[in-house]
Amino acid sequence: MHAEEIAEEFPVVTIDSDALDAARLLAQHRLPGLVVTDSAGKPYAVLPASQVVRFIVPGYVQDDPSLAGVLSETAADRVAEKLHGKTVRDVLPEHQHDVPSAGAADTLIEVASTMARMRSPLVAVVKDGKLHGVITASSLLAAALKA
């Protein structure tokens, strides 16, 4: 089985998309992440939903989780406001340099290897230099279990 056979259409955002809109897309469709493209439509990065969650949690709470209980319920309810005025580029991890991607002819195990190595919930499938589709961890597992 090849990557292009498993790849599905999937919501995509650009690096300049509104971060709050991207977060809404993740939440509404219960997605594990989004493929982020550059202005030319070429895969640029993967934005895991967990990274958006990490972005909205104050740094001092990440450093000391016991402080989460100190925040008032009102402050906690407004935590997503941190995304206002931000782009997807602002939310992406600084250290991310490689796009979790696979060629259309890559095998299931090659895709799984990329996903595992890059610890990504999804992999962009590229065909003829363009985004062909996306493979999520759950769709990869489903394909592997059928095999």
Whole-prediction pTM value?
Answer: 0.78
Say what the pLDDT of residue 147 is.
Answer: 60
Quote the DSSP letter at residue 130. E
Task: Label residue 69 by pLDDT band (50, 70, 90).
Answer: confident
The parent domain of residue 123 ranges over 3-146
Q: What is the DSSP pairing of strand 122-127 with strand 101-103?
A: parallel
Say what the pLDDT of residue 135 is.
Answer: 96
| pLDDT tens digit sequence for 104-140 | 999 999 999 999 998 888 999 999 888 899 999 999 9
58, 69 in Cβ contact below 8 A? Answer: no
Task: Label residue 42 by pLDDT band (50, 70, 90).
Answer: confident
Rounded mean pLDDT, 53-66? 80
- CATH number for the domain spanning 96: value is 3.10.580.10
Tally of domains in the chain = 1
Residue with tokens 């190595």: 117
More confident residue, 107 or 62: 107
108, 1 in Cβ contact below 8 A? Answer: yes
Q: What is the DSSP string of 23-41?
A: HHHHHHHT-SEEEEE-TTS
30, 19 in Cβ contact below 8 A? Answer: no
Task: Label residue 30 by pLDDT band (50, 70, 90).
Answer: very high
